[in-house]
Amino acid sequence: MKIKDSQWITVSRDTGDVVPVFHFGFVADRPVALAELKITALGVYEALLNGERVGDFILAPGWTSYDHRLQVQTYDVTGLLEEENDLRVLVGRGWFRSPMPGWLNSEDKQRRLNQPCGLIAHLKLRFQDGTEKTFATGPDWSWAESHIRFSEIYDGEICDARKDWSSQKDWQPVKLLDWRKDILIPQEGEIIRETGRIAAKRIFKTPQGDTVVDFGQEVTGYVEIALNAHVGDEVLFDHAEVQDRDGNWYNENYRSAKARAKYICREGMQTWHPELTFFGFRYIRLLSWPGEAKKENFTAIAVHSDMKRTGWLKSGNAELNRLFSNIVWGQRGNFLDVPTDCPQRDERLGWTGDAQVFIKTASYLFDTEKFFKKWLHDLAADQRESGEVGQVIPDLMPEGVSSAAWGDAATICPWQVYQTYGDKAVLEDQFDSMRKWVDFIGSVTKTPNLWIDHFHFGDWLGLDAPQGSYKGSTRDDFIASAFYAHSAELVVKAGRLLGKDVSAYERLHRDIVAAFRAAFPDYKTQTEHVLAVHFGLAENPQKTADALAEMVKADGTQLRTGFVGTPYILHVLSNYGHTDLAWDLVLRREYPGWLYPVLKGATTIWEHWDGIREDGSFWSADMNSFNHYSYGAVVDWMFEQAAGIRHAEDKPAFEELIYAPHPDARLGWLQAKLDTRHGTVSALWVCEGDGVRYELDTPVRARVFLGGKAQLVEPGHYTFWTEN
Ligand code: BGC
């Protein structure tokens, strides 16, 4: 018997905001060798067997394109089994039934809130005598209201611990739910887990009299409280990322997301944290607390997809080290089953553009293979008939029109996963989706071989934006056509590796390049220069990179790039002999630059370089996330150019190493360590007296480029030296 033979069950009446708990009692009358629970839900669930949590998957079953794919988890529950067993499963709204995104009209909100709550499960007992017994969800299960009186992604959670809501007399028979089972798939992604506990750093009163707890680090997850209280005492707190310039409470930038947690106490010592939702925060404000709050009462728990860490950077510059840490926290905070733009305001969506901007950096820092493979399957599942790719995946905005550099996640992400991990399976899986995206552009553009006259997000948040606009000055048609060329080229590269006939795409790519050169002979912005070089469109890349360098200097050695240009600008500068300028940009301490937020106390990456301005005021309340990973896409340059470890495109996954570091005396030293599919690479440079010492550990053959000389070395440990 499989889980598909179980029945979907639901509650027998509308419970409003209250989270239901489903119940099943069973007897194991013989010694059990193995007990295995397969389970999933419409919503997010937490299962308890005999009072013990089943597994450590937080917010299971995760977030997928629920119309097409719903992951089923399998747990070995042998250790939790008794003779008489009590299985309970809480099913909260989660992503499935929360009104997301926050700007939905009330009718659409209601439609999402009205989605059914559902549970399907299958428990198999294998007895020591070799016989088996299975229990499936069906009419013999029951349900009751639970202690969770409200739970939703944006607005938070309310728990009433005063009584056991699901006492024996409250159990009611379930209703069967008519819901598809062909959407059920085995768990594909990483497990979402609690991955860290952070003690409160301080508790203080703001000038306006609020009591605020500071964890010293922005995290995504929830706050655990531990307290001694009387029955009925109330705890109420909301969440924030920053304080305003006067040190007062500020969370206007969460927009419509209430992000509140409420707990009604039982008698005595108790601990609690929200169970079926999450928050992005550094601070909480106590709106209600029994007695005097101490910092010992509070612990922040970080929750995210539990990917293995693979990359580390450390330097002689403390501010840069803080930047590295902020980028890692940015990834931890936003890789929560899908790559999200931010974890706090009324979005928390899988914005495709943000994901493609950050994927290379992300894949240096953590092993993202499983994470992205799952998300890309959702991208393909949600891809429209026409090949159009939604702005967010899972696609909660089916009416949203595709944009260049957002939809191109369909080609860029699979290619990056292949490059980092070397397994062609991801290309095999995604090839149709990649091709369909490129075909879609061809089908909607009015000008053959270019992508002209379409809606786009442009160089989002580019600093050369006209007053009052989120879009940089780079021409939409320029960006769209450049990415069209890039995506067509990636289809060619992927197709060739898979042994497919891609001659039509080869021709298309050639034609796009020719049309692009004719249509865009001049480059007007930093981002235009960057794209022309990075995507192989400039006829004379050296000249264009030199012009970019001049432009950057003329702009006061400042970035003007937005989401589109920022991830590539440093690479373009370095690849054409302007690494000193790239370092100037990286080490710039004033706005705009990577170190400015660090000096303003950032612990994650900001959506805007000036999220907090020099005078302490905020850029805006509307689009001002303090945990938005996109501009963290500088780490790949740190590994590849600064520390100097990269691989050629035809040697994916570091089959062979290229070692070409670019030291800068302002740092003193830089160390990079990277776990690759072929072993650990470690590279250090130290500026010493009148030269630089290099220590390289390579598990693979390496091409070393130092002091103007090239040499090939076998795996091993090497020390090199160059004179200044
Ligand atoms: C998100 C971005 C996203 C953008 C689309 C914003 O609201 O937070 O990161 O890519 O919309 O331009």
Q: pLDDT tens-digit profile of 66-105?
A: 999 999 999 999 999 999 999 999 999 999 999 999 998 8
Compute the distance between CA of residue 500 and CA of residue 424 in angstroms, rounded to an integer: 13
Ligand 1 pocket, 460 CB below 6 A?
A: yes
Instruction: Quick: pLDDT tens for 302-336.
Output: 999 999 999 999 999 999 999 999 999 999 999 99
Compute the distance between CA of residue 321 and CA of residue 306 in angstroms, rounded to an integer: 23
Probe residue for ligand 1, chosen from 253, 347, 406 as the CB with the greatest number of ligand atoms within 8 Å: 347
Compute the distance between CA of residue 77 and CA of residue 38 in angstroms, rounded to an integer: 10
The DSSP annotation for 691-713 comes to EEEEEEEESS-EEEEETTEEEEE
Compute the distance between CA of residue 5 and CA of residue 515 in angstroms, rounded to an integer: 56
Mapped onto helix, strand or coil, the DSSP state of residue 194 is strand
List Cα–Cα distances, 400 to 357, 389, 392, 403, 490, in angstroms.
20, 9, 9, 9, 25
Please give the radius of gyration of the chain, using alpha carbons only, rounded to the nearest integer.
Answer: 27
**From the alpha carbon of 353, which atom of ligand 1 is closest?**
10
**Residue-level pLDDT at 163:** 78
Q: Respond yes or no: is residue 489 known to be catalytic.
A: no
**Residue-level pLDDT at 164:** 76
Ligand 1 centroid, distance to 341 Cα (angstroms): 7
The secondary structure element, H or E, covering residue 554 is helix 541-554
Q: Is the pLDDT of residue 165 over 80?
A: no
Q: What is the mean pLDDT of residues 394-415?
A: 96
Percent of the chain with pLDDT over 90: 94
**From the alpha carbon of 341, which atom of ligand 1 is closest?**
9
Instruction: Quick: pLDDT tens for 231-259.
Output: 999 999 999 999 999 999 999 999 999 99
Compute the distance between CA of residue 702 and CA of residue 723 in angstroms, rounded to an integer: 22
Atom 2, ligand 1: residue with shortest CA distance: 341
AA identity, residue 103: W
**Residue-level pLDDT at 318:** 98
Atom 12, ligand 1: residue with shortest CA distance: 457
* C-beta separation of 61 from 92 below 8 A: no
Q: What is the mean pLDDT of residues 125-144?
A: 96
Compute the distance between CA of residue 278 and CA of residue 280 in angstroms, rounded to an integer: 7
Q: Is the pLDDT of residue 620 over 90?
A: no
Least Cα distance to 36 among 104, 126, 129, 114 occurs for 126
Ligand 1 centroid, distance to 354 Cα (angstroms): 7
- Tokens, residue 627: 């945990």
**From the alpha carbon of 625, which atom of ligand 1 is closest?**
8
Compute the distance between CA of residue 653 and CA of residue 419 in angstroms, rounded to an integer: 6
Atom 3, ligand 1: residue with shortest CA distance: 351
**From the alpha carbon of 391, which atom of ligand 1 is closest?**
5
**Residue-level pLDDT at 456:** 94
The secondary structure element, H or E, covering residue 378 is helix 369-382
pTM score: 0.97
Ligand 1 centroid, distance to 458 Cα (angstroms): 11
**From the alpha carbon of 351, which atom of ligand 1 is closest?**
10
AA identity, residue 424: K
**Residue-level pLDDT at 166:** 67
* C-beta separation of 4 from 40 below 8 A: no
Compute the distance between CA of residue 261 and CA of residue 245 in angstroms, rounded to an integer: 25
Atom 8, ligand 1: residue with shortest CA distance: 341
Q: Which of the residues 145, 190, 347, 640 is marked catalytic?
A: 347
**From the alpha carbon of 352, which atom of ligand 1 is closest?**
10
* C-beta separation of 432 from 385 below 8 A: no
Ligand 1 pocket, 606 CB below 6 A?
A: no
Cα 79 to its chain centre, rounded Å, is: 33
Probe residue for ligand 1, chosen from 460, 471, 476, 623 as the CB with the greatest number of ligand atoms within 8 Å: 460
Ligand 1 pocket, 346 CB below 6 A?
A: no
Least Cα distance to 112 among 30, 212, 43 occurs for 43
Q: Is the pLDDT of residue 540 over 80?
A: yes
Ligand 1 centroid, distance to 90 Cα (angstroms): 33
Atom 11, ligand 1: residue with shortest CA distance: 351
Give the chain's mean pLDDT: 96
The b-or-e profile of 543-573 (16+ CB within 10 A means b, else e) is ebbbbbbebbeeeeebbbbbbbbbbbbbbbb
Q: Respond yes or no: is residue 347 known to be catalytic.
A: yes
**From the alpha carbon of 563, which atom of ligand 1 is closest?**
10
Probe residue for ligand 1, chosen from 341, 395, 397, 455 as the CB with the greatest number of ligand atoms within 8 Å: 341
* C-beta separation of 406 from 487 below 8 A: no
* C-beta separation of 559 from 526 below 8 A: yes
Q: Which of the residues 157, 218, 607, 640 is marked catalytic?
A: 607
Ligand 1 pocket, 347 CB below 6 A?
A: yes
Ligand 1 pocket, 629 CB below 6 A?
A: no
Enumerate the H helices of 422-525 as residue ranges.
Answer: 425-444, 476-497, 503-519
Ligand 1 centroid, distance to 396 Cα (angstroms): 14
Ligand 1 pocket, 341 CB below 6 A?
A: yes
Least Cα distance to 437 among 342, 508, 365 occurs for 508
**From the alpha carbon of 345, which atom of ligand 1 is closest?**
8
Instruction: Quick: pLDDT tens for 194-235.
Output: 999 999 999 999 999 999 999 999 999 999 999 999 999 999
**From the alpha carbon of 354, which atom of ligand 1 is closest?**
10
Ligand 1 pocket, 457 CB below 6 A?
A: yes
Q: What is the mean pLDDT of residues 424-441?
A: 98
Compute the distance between CA of residue 352 and CA of residue 341 in angstroms, rounded to an integer: 9
Ligand 1 centroid, distance to 269 Cα (angstroms): 43
Compute the distance between CA of residue 283 and CA of residue 406 in angstroms, rounded to an integer: 32
Q: What is the mean pLDDT of residues 400-419?
A: 97
**Residue-level pLDDT at 724:** 84
Atom 9, ligand 1: residue with shortest CA distance: 341
Residue 484 pLDDT class (50, 70, 90 cuts): very high
Q: Is the pLDDT of residue 356 over 70?
A: yes
Ligand 1 centroid, distance to 470 Cα (angstroms): 10
Query: What phi, psi does 492 have (nearest 5°)?
Result: -60, -50
Compute the distance between CA of residue 61 and CA of residue 161 in angstroms, rounded to an integer: 25
Residue 1 pLDDT class (50, 70, 90 cuts): low
| Max CA pair span of the chain | 82
Ligand 1 centroid, distance to 721 Cα (angstroms): 46
Ligand 1 centroid, distance to 67 Cα (angstroms): 24
**Residue-level pLDDT at 631:** 96
Question: How far from each other are the two terminal CA atoms of the chain, in whole angstroms?
Answer: 71
List Cα–Cα distances, 186 to 137, 181, 189, 338, 488, in angstroms.
18, 12, 9, 17, 32
Ligand 1 pocket, 351 CB below 6 A?
A: yes
Instruction: Quick: pLDDT tens for 486-538.
Output: 999 999 999 999 999 999 999 999 999 999 999 999 999 999 999 999 999 99
AA identity, residue 580: D
- Tokens, residue 502: 């891609």
Ligand 1 centroid, distance to 352 Cα (angstroms): 9
Ligand 1 centroid, distance to 403 Cα (angstroms): 11
Atom 4, ligand 1: residue with shortest CA distance: 351
Least Cα distance to 714 among 698, 696, 690, 693 occurs for 698
